[in-house]
Amino acid sequence: MEIGSVQKVIITDYLHDGSGLGRLSGQAVFVPGALAGEEVLVEITAQGKGYVQTKLKEILLAHPSRVLPVCPVYGECGGCGLQHADYELQLEIKRRIVESALHRIGGLRDVAIQPVIGAAAPWGYRNKGTFRIGRISGRAVLGFYEEGSHRLVPKHCEHLFSSSVTVLLSYLEEVLTEQGFGKEGHIDRKTEIDHIMIRESRYKGEILLVFSCFDELAEDIKYIARKVCDKFSMVVGVCRNNKGKIHIVEGRDRIEEKIDDLLFDVSAKSFFQVNTEQAAVLYRKVMEYVGSTGQELVVDAYCGTGTISLFEAQKVRRVIGIESVSEAVRDAKNNAVKNGAANVEFKKGRVENILPKLVKDGLRPDAVIVDPPRRGCDKRLLEAIIEAGPVRIVYVSCNPSTLARDIKRLAEGGYAVAEVQPVDMFPQTAHVEVIILLQRKRY
């Protein structure tokens, strides 16, 4: 098939990123924006071994659940790639993505996958955003990069964030324009802000701003911080991040969030789920899977700010949380005190180093919870879990592919998948959070 040629394709399934999948002349055809069951015309844009990349040209037969995207930059910005499907169909697409990964990578074909738990609010749910800076017609603009490129889409998206964040972003654009930021062409990185991160507490409405830039801009950021804090009372802190080191410019370096009845300090660098409401759904399900007689010893690997650890501490005898980010461990310890949890211990370090040592020293937990980054678990961690032999493993993942890979190793180590529960933490996107309960086989 020649590059640039137009072909007719019937879409039969989905890829991991939510794109439609069809076949032509024995080759897989990838079609972003297409839905299973649709007949479409596509333009061939690239070709690889056994597959072709395409661009959707025309929909000849549309899926009955196809809808018009609400965002004016849909198709440019890589943030919300499933807007063309109604929400119920989005949930089914995510279930199929999980199923495909478990079958194809994990070799798990007889595992029942529960329907995806959807969000009550599929818009305006994000409590965190990272915004790039550009300049259009002499004006500084904040937005996201186009997917797969460094081209800025000049739209900061009022559909994913609260109205407070949207208003703040517009004001920031005014101040950045006034200060001459967002320069065009080749620039000295020491004289430009790389990006701005915004965290918002859904509990108190507090907002934390973090400017990523070199120290040379310290006075400029101080000026911007004062203007922002004078105008917006909900901005409780402004910080600078220079190569991972956080400097407080105004106020404080954290906000307070609440999930169910638990309070959490969340600082600039700490991991915290971007969907506060769905995080509560996720953590309740984790507690259900761990189970409780009140006597359990539980290890929470990649514990972040201690959210799951503190949920578990309400029901079990003891929790050991392990986390490598210093700021997150500090937050976790503060959160334990804040919530009166005396049965939680937090250890700083890489999980793949700490847990094997604890197991070697005789630690035998009743349950292990893992919630790793997208790359999944280190092999040393998986081997240590298998050696420790907990009755239950609860694996929480934002990447079905690495999840499936790790589950395969745990299955080889004597564990069986008891249940798979996807949770939609990221509506309008193809991303999906998955919780898997594994139980130790009896021989």
Residue 263 counted as domain residue: no
Question: Do residue 306 and residue 415 come from a single domain?
Answer: yes
231/236 Cα distance (integer angstroms): 12
In this structure, are residues 286 and 308 in contact, taking their beta carbons and an 8 Å threshold?
yes
Question: Do residue 316 and residue 240 come from a single domain?
Answer: no
Question: Do residue 292 and residue 414 come from a single domain?
Answer: yes
Q: For position 404, what pLDDT does the model report? A: 95
Q: For position 153, what pLDDT does the model report? A: 83
Question: Do residue 288 and residue 435 come from a single domain?
Answer: yes
Q: For position 138, what pLDDT does the model report? A: 85
Q: For position 164, what pLDDT does the model report? A: 96
Residue 270 counted as domain residue: no
End-to-end CA distance of the chain: 54
442 DSSP assignment: P
CATH of the domain at 205: 2.40.50.1070
Question: Do residue 289 and residue 424 come from a single domain?
Answer: yes
Q: At what angle do helices 379-388 and 400-412 cross, to 10 degrees?
A: 40
Question: Do residue 424 and residue 406 come from a single domain?
Answer: yes
Q: For position 75, what pLDDT does the model report? A: 77
CATH of the domain at 28: 2.40.50.140
Q: For position 300, what pLDDT does the model report? A: 98
Q: How many domains does the chain have?
A: 3
Question: Do residue 349 and residue 282 come from a single domain?
Answer: yes
Question: Do residue 232 and residue 343 come from a single domain?
Answer: no
Question: Do residue 281 and residue 132 come from a single domain?
Answer: no
Q: Are strands 245-251 and 433-440 parallel, antiparallel or unpaired?
A: unpaired
Q: For position 145, what pLDDT does the model report? A: 83
Residue 75 counted as domain residue: no
Per-residue pLDDT for the chain (443 aa), expressed as one digit of tens each? Answer: 789 999 999 999 999 999 999 999 899 999 999 999 999 999 999 999 999 999 999 999 999 999 999 988 887 777 789 999 999 999 999 999 999 999 999 998 888 899 999 999 999 999 999 999 988 888 899 988 887 777 888 776 788 999 999 999 999 999 999 999 976 655 566 788 999 999 999 999 999 999 999 999 999 999 999 999 999 999 999 999 999 999 999 999 999 999 999 999 999 988 899 999 999 999 999 999 999 899 999 999 999 999 999 999 999 999 999 999 999 999 999 999 999 999 999 999 999 999 999 999 999 999 999 999 999 999 999 999 999 999 999 999 999 999 999 999 999 999 999 999 999 999 999 999 999 999 999 75
| Structural domain boundaries, residue 333 | 99-120+275-440
Given 80, 213, 229, 398, which residue is catalytic?
398
371/434 Cα distance (integer angstroms): 10
Residue 89 counted as domain residue: no
Q: For position 184, what pLDDT does the model report? A: 65
Q: For position 90, what pLDDT does the model report? A: 98
Q: Tell me: the pLDDT tens digits for 245-272? A: 999 999 999 999 999 999 999 999 888 9
Residue 87 counted as domain residue: no
209/199 Cα distance (integer angstroms): 7
Q: For position 276, what pLDDT does the model report? A: 97
Domain end: 256, 290, 310, which one?
256
Q: For position 105, what pLDDT does the model report? A: 93
316 DSSP assignment: S
Print burial letters for 166-186: b (CB count within 10 Å at least 16), e (below 16).
eebbeebbebbeebebbeeee
Question: Do residue 306 and residue 248 come from a single domain?
Answer: no
Q: For position 443, what pLDDT does the model report? A: 57
Residue 269 counted as domain residue: no
Question: Do residue 155 and residue 197 come from a single domain?
Answer: yes
Residue 239 counted as domain residue: yes
Residue 261 counted as domain residue: no
Q: How far is CA 89 from the centre of its chain?
A: 20
CATH of the domain at 330: 3.40.50.150
**Residue 398: active-site member:** yes
Question: Do residue 197 and residue 298 come from a single domain?
Answer: no
